[in-house]
Amino acid sequence: MVDGGPLNAETESLLVSLRELEERLLMSQARASRADVMALLADDFVEFGRSGRIYDKYQTMEALAGETDQDASVERTARDFRVCLLAEGVALLTYRSMRRSTVDEIEVHSLRSSIWKLIDDSWQMVFHQGTPTRAFP
């Protein structure tokens, strides 16, 4: 969806592409791969974490590399993706995410937004924000 309205073919294709990239960052294999994270995050990447902390690309890479085997017991899902083209080669992707521990069944829900920029013919994330929210219906 784009602002609640129907998508044209080009915007639908953009939504599919950016959703795939975003979901890759939710996968344990990609999170553990410095090469994958390097390719997906722009050099000037900034994240406003759901914790309230601010991270750059290299802090994010270190945090993801430091995830332990215990993190394998975490399931991450995302849904309700929307895209908005902000400018030529710049898009805002928003969605809802849920992180659930398979050990204690605790769920953490967030509203997420990412700005993606087309850099050297590849989409890279330049900004990401996670905002805590109540459980989704």
Q: What is the pTM of this model?
A: 0.87
3-state secondary structure of 62: helix
3-state secondary structure of 51: coil
Fold of 9-133: Nuclear Transport Factor 2; Chain: A, (3.10.450)
Residue 109 burial (CB < 10 Å; 0-12/13-18/19+)? middle
User: Which pLDDT belongs to residue 2?
Assistant: 44
Domain ranges across the chain: 9-133
Taking only the tens of pLDDT, the chain with its 137 residues reads 444 556 788 899 999 999 999 999 988 788 888 899 999 999 999 999 888 899 999 999 988 887 755 556 788 899 999 999 999 999 999 999 998 887 787 889 999 999 999 999 999 999 999 999 999 88
Q: Long-range contact list for 8-12, CB < 8 A, 24+ apart? A: 11/83, 11/85
